Amino acid sequence: MTIPQLTSYPLPAATELPNNRVKWALEPGRAALLIHDMQRYFLSFWGENSPLIEQVVGNIARLRRYCKAQGIPVFYTAQPTAQSDTDRALLNDMWGPGLNKHPDQQRIVAALSPDEDDQVLTKWRYSAFHRSPLEAILKEMGRDQLIITGVYAHIGCLTTATDAFMRDIQPFMVADALADFSREEHMMALTYTAGRSGKVVMTADMMPVPLSKADLRALVLPLLEDDEVPEDDENLIDYGLDSVRVMALAARWRQVHRDIDFVTLAKNPSIDGWWALLSRELTQ
């Protein structure tokens, strides 16, 4: 009676996301980031070096860096060890003793370790709001949007999203910054959220501009038609980057750097050229 052994699966692509009923736009001044239950115990069921978990951790880390740069507060949930039967209650019936038997795995994974500015909330039930000051803290901060990442998508993350909605807090479920028991359950959580309690987005949707040259490269390379990888100073047009995609990138990046347009990007269509534009001080 515990969480089963889990296997990696392909994360949802943007083209696979369910249609959202709402058209909410994330606003940094209203938002908070939640990193949900990314403890060694919950990730251990995928085993070592899981490709799925490596991708999810990487996307959450990118989101966290972006939120820090934008002044968006970061919250974590983490279950405690030595939970009493009263504390666990029905969780014992469903999942057994959980972390009580694995206190050495209570820590949040190293790649996502919280710092002194982050707030770590004790997690008692599926929802991050249960027996938690999260709602009160968000209200005090004037935050009514919650970016949700972590595990497991169809259990705690989905319950938290629904609970947020019931409290008039707009939840944004980040499809490629979540992991679940299976791809089917992952997609079920996204479908329910999009249709009933929130908005489903991709990591890239949350971050108008990349935070590093490596992030820029990871964004651009899939857009090229040529299988060869260009050097950072080479012309991306020569590798099959078409004008439609350049215009789409310009529209996206103009959300932060208002002087960027198609002509600006076309002057030096290379990783180095674009990074010089994007690495300038952010403008709001």
Report the catalytic residues: 36-37, 123
Q: Are 50 and 105 in contact (CB under 8 A)?
A: no
Distance separating alpha carbons of residues 237 and 224, to the nearest angstrom: 8
| Chain-centre distance for alpha carbon 10 | 16
| Alpha carbon of residue 268 to chain centroid | 31
Strand pairing of 31-36 and 199-201?
unpaired
**Chain centroid, CA 255 distance in Å:** 20
Direct distance between the N- and C-terminal alpha carbons of the chain, in angstroms, rounded to an integer: 51
Compute the Cα dihedral for 268, 272, 275, 280 and give only its sign: negative
Whether 156 and 126 have beta carbons less than 8 Å apart is answered as yes
